[in-house]
Structure 1
Amino acid sequence: MRPLDLDADVVELARAPISASRGTPLREMAYRADAWTPQESERLRALFLDDVAIGDIALALRRGRAAVAERIALLGLRRNSTRTWTEFDDAELIRRYGSEPTAKIASDLGRSCSAVYARARLLDLTEGNPPEWTPWEDAQLTEGYRRGVPLAQIATLIGRPFGGLSSRAGHLGIVHANHPPDWSREETTRALELAEAGHRYTAIVDMLTAEGFPERTVRGFGLAVRKLGYGRGWGRAWTSEEDALLRRAYEEGTSLTPLRRQLGRTPGSLRHRAEYLQLRGLHANRNGWRIGPDWTDADEARLRADYGRVPTKVLAVSMGRTKAAITSRANSLGLVHGYIRPFSNDETRALDIAFRTGVSIADLAVALDRKAMSLSKFATNHGYQFGRRPRRTVTLEGLLALE
């Protein structure tokens, strides 16, 4: 089945089923003066879709804010709001976050789950144990699995992790339309949990095999989880809260991995958004998220003096760094290794003079401050066969004077 391509405006796949009482017949309802008329419901729907604040809707309809919020939930209205968060919204989020499903909070506040997650992270709120699944969440999960909607979209829609989706689907006895035919539900659940934890595909394949699941190839495993929709963004517009979180991560120099999981964004999405917001180079840490020690002016001065003259391995040990760190920093400073720098015209002339005057390769390497093996290879490629020659001390200026 072909996956459904959701756009940024779709925030509900199906309405939650309404449970009716059984055994007792329904009696006629008494007339209520405060009952909602069809005209009021339609006006509420129009104002809500125009992104009008709930408080303003209550004033326009001359009803209480709680009554309007309840009616919005009963009508199944949800949206990706662009409104700024008010003090009331923040207080409500602080009171309910972690104890109620995110989807329920988002519905009452008229916002998306991703917006609620972003705001909660800005307010430094932490989730406790996951709350019980609501009928609305079960309805979205069931419909999403039936249509073959990628799991990344379902997770962002209802505000649940991948592992929670797969576990709940097993409890409900439903199977995703794109579920691999030779995979069990337990294997799928475990694979998504490990993928969400940040493990590489190669490591996940080995872990699953060690746990008794069938042995998979890395290519086959990647195709299977991608078919389910793991790790795929779906073009949601960035909210101001998400931008604020990204700015704070760059200013504080923290890792983007937790932010990527929380917002349901891909690494490429975060990178492109950071470039759009011109956040490069704004880290509080001078060297970004590198684990090694910071480079001081004295370290850089020594690197400039010794790079290319002292073997990189020896230089790395003496400076307490890795060879990769030495090479990376040298490249960022525009340094060229002495043994791999291009041959100048004077060096090429000195090579020709040394060949004609009986100078050995070893002496010529000392005069040119190059490795003998590199110089011998360069000479051979240009048709110079030195062979065995006696050693003597020469300089570049002395060789050029012999011409």
Structure 2
Amino acid sequence: MSALDLDADLVELAPAPSATAAVAALREMAFRADAWTPQETERLRRLFAADTALADIAADLGRGRAAIAERVTLLGLRRNSTRTWTELDDAELVRRYGDEPTAAIASDLGRSCSAVYARAGLLGLAESNPPQWTAWEDAQLIEGYRRGVPVRQIGTLIGRPFGGLSSRAATLGIVHANQPARWSPEETARALELAGAGHRYHAIMAIMASEGFPERTIRGFGPALRKLGYGRGWGRAWTPEEDALLTRAYAEGLSLTPLRTQLGRTAGSLRHRAEYLALRGSHANRNGFRQGPDWTEDDEKILREQYGRVLTRELAARLERTKAAVTTRANLLGLVHGYIRPFSDEEIRALDIAYRTGVSIADLAEALGRKPMSLSKYASNHGYAFGRRPRHAITLAALLASEALPDPAAA
């Protein structure tokens, strides 16, 4: 974890109090029975910091929930609540989502922006055109760029997409502390925008070169983007809403790309969480989000019978799969490759007979179903120096029957 990575529960980089309009000279005003006392305000701060539900705070202070929400907003309080969503929370989210900045909704509900995104996804809410940036969002963006905080983490903090941040930064005329050397702000903004859209590095480089930006090499391009925070996570705990979204994506065979954008998670984070939850897709690939055909019982039977007895590349061609797919499946089934399996007493006896009767190491390896190199190494380590010998095809049964030597295991 980098020293610049944000704390998982951080909800604000810099305070941004609302600007107050100019007012006339103060005058005496009548006493209001519902005025907030300093004691009530302090009590509200303590309960809010303890992650108490707004309805419970209202009951404790003897005020309405709307009054508590308004006071929390006026005080600029923020938190990353882990409480279960209530019907009132859902109703508020449905009413405001897509029309107001996610950061403003998150502040009023006392939750993080990523939690709001996750809940909106579960409720099937759609975003409209991006709302105007607020002063609080601008303050977090400016402070994050000044500190060199990874851009993806800033986006998750304030609830804006990856590309939107770089665009807003260009509008504000600010440059990230980790701006790559000899890169213009426009080049950085365009690279982050294309990366946020899911393009691979080579595709981004080709697109930008066609648009007139300098041609970059992959050796420098990837590290430059990663230094800005692309494809980076920092250990935020998964919420029940995020788990539910991921579970639904696997159950319905949906793309995981929107989840990476909305939740601020990397592909690796989604993959590891899916493994932890034992998720498998219900689409054509029943074993999850992966390429290649599913393994049938007949495929696994062939694999069990022939793995290690024939060359892996030949077995892969027979099964119409890649060599990596064969070895991965074999590992999952707990199969041990025949060329590295322990030598049995029968094989040790055959080795001794072959050495005495002039059988070549290559013929013995073929009879035992092993690699000549590994067999030669084993023979040398046990004092058998075969040297060069003429080749003669021989089977294991014929070799064992050629000389009646006592079984080493019986000695």
Quick one: distance in 1 between partners of 2:323 and 2:6?
46
Quick one: distance in 1 between partners of 2:272 and 2:372?
47
CA shift in 2, pair 1:395/1:199, >3 Å: farther
Quick one: distance in 1 between partners of 2:338 and 2:4?
56
Quick one: distance in 2 between partners of 1:314 and 1:193?
44
2:110 is equivalent to residue 110 of structure 1:
yes
Counterpart in 2 of 1:88? Answer: 88
**Which 10-residue stretch deviates more, 357-366 or 323-332?**
357-366
Residue identity matched to 2:129 = N
Counterpart in 2 of 1:48? Answer: 48
Secondary structure of 1:18's match? coil
Counterpart in 1 of 2:390? Answer: 388
CA shift in 2, pair 1:213/1:260, >3 Å: same
Counterpart in 2 of 1:14? Answer: 15
CA shift in 2, pair 1:325/1:98, >3 Å: same
**How far did 1:259 drift?**
3.3
Say if 2:155 and 2:161, in contact at 8 Å, map to a contact too.
yes
The 5-angstrom pairing of residues 299-310 of structure 1 reads: 299-310=299-310
Secondary structure of 2:82's match? coil
CA RMSD in angstroms comes to 3.8
Quick one: distance in 1 between partners of 2:274 and 2:289?
15
Counterpart in 1 of 2:174? Answer: 174
Residue identity matched to 1:167 = S
CA shift in 2, pair 1:400/1:336, >3 Å: farther
**How far did 1:87 drift?**
0.8
Say if 2:353 and 2:399, in contact at 8 Å, map to a contact too.
no
**How far did 1:268 drift?**
6.2
Say if 1:17 and 1:139, in contact at 8 Å, map to a contact too.
no
**How far did 1:362 drift?**
6.2
Counterpart in 2 of 1:158? Answer: 158
Residue identity matched to 1:302 = I
Say if 1:354 and 1:364, in contact at 8 Å, map to a contact too.
yes
**How far did 1:18 drift?**
1.6
Counterpart in 1 of 2:240? Answer: 240
**Which 10-residue stretch deviates more, 299-308 or 259-268?**
259-268
Quick one: distance in 1 between partners of 2:98 and 2:133?
13
**How far did 1:192 drift?**
1.6
The 5-angstrom pairing of residues 47-86 of structure 1 reads: 47-86=47-86
The 5-angstrom pairing of residues 125-164 of structure 1 reads: 125-164=125-164
The 5-angstrom pairing of residues 256-271 of structure 1 reads: 258-266=258-266
2:280 is equivalent to residue 283 of structure 1:
yes
Counterpart in 2 of 1:325? Answer: 325
Say if 2:117 and 2:263, in contact at 8 Å, map to a contact too.
yes
Quick one: distance in 1 between partners of 2:59 and 2:377?
85
Quick one: distance in 1 between partners of 2:63 and 2:392?
104
Structure 2 unmatched ranges of 5 or more? 407-411
CA shift in 2, pair 1:207/1:369, >3 Å: same
Quick one: distance in 1 between partners of 2:59 and 2:365?
87
Quick one: distance in 2 between partners of 1:15 and 1:145?
16
Secondary structure of 1:289's match? coil
Counterpart in 1 of 2:400? Answer: 397
CA shift in 2, pair 1:149/1:308, >3 Å: closer
2:120 is equivalent to residue 123 of structure 1:
no
Deviations 1:352-377 (A, max 9, x none): 43354344566545533446677678
2:192 is equivalent to residue 192 of structure 1:
yes
**How far did 1:324 drift?**
2.1
Say if 1:103 and 1:137, in contact at 8 Å, map to a contact too.
yes
Quick one: distance in 2 between partners of 1:371 and 1:48?
69
Quick one: distance in 2 between partners of 1:94 and 1:47?
26
Secondary structure of 1:395's match? helix
Residue identity matched to 1:401 = A
CA shift in 2, pair 1:303/1:228, >3 Å: closer
Residue identity matched to 2:143 = E
Quick one: distance in 2 between partners of 1:14 and 1:392?
83
**Which 10-residue stretch deviates more, 366-375 or 68-77?**
366-375
CA shift in 2, pair 1:355/1:216, >3 Å: same
Structure 1 unmatched ranges of 5 or more? none
**Which 10-residue stretch deviates more, 246-255 or 256-265?**
246-255
Secondary structure of 2:402's match? helix
CA shift in 2, pair 1:344/1:104, >3 Å: same
Residue identity matched to 1:347 = E
Deviations 1:77-96 (A, max 9, x none): 21111222111111221232
Deviations 1:75-128 (A, max 9, x none): 212111122211111122123222321112112222221211121222233333
CA shift in 2, pair 1:114/1:391, >3 Å: closer
Residue identity matched to 2:387 = Q
Say if 2:106 and 2:113, in contact at 8 Å, map to a contact too.
yes
Say if 1:11 and 1:112, in contact at 8 Å, map to a contact too.
no
Secondary structure of 1:367's match? helix
Quick one: distance in 2 between partners of 1:363 and 1:82?
68
Quick one: distance in 2 between partners of 1:359 and 1:54?
85
Residue identity matched to 1:89 = D
Identity, in percent, stands at: 66
Residue identity matched to 1:173 = G
TM-score normalized with structure 1 length: 0.80
Residue identity matched to 2:108 = D
CA shift in 2, pair 1:310/1:254, >3 Å: farther
CA shift in 2, pair 1:237/1:29, >3 Å: farther
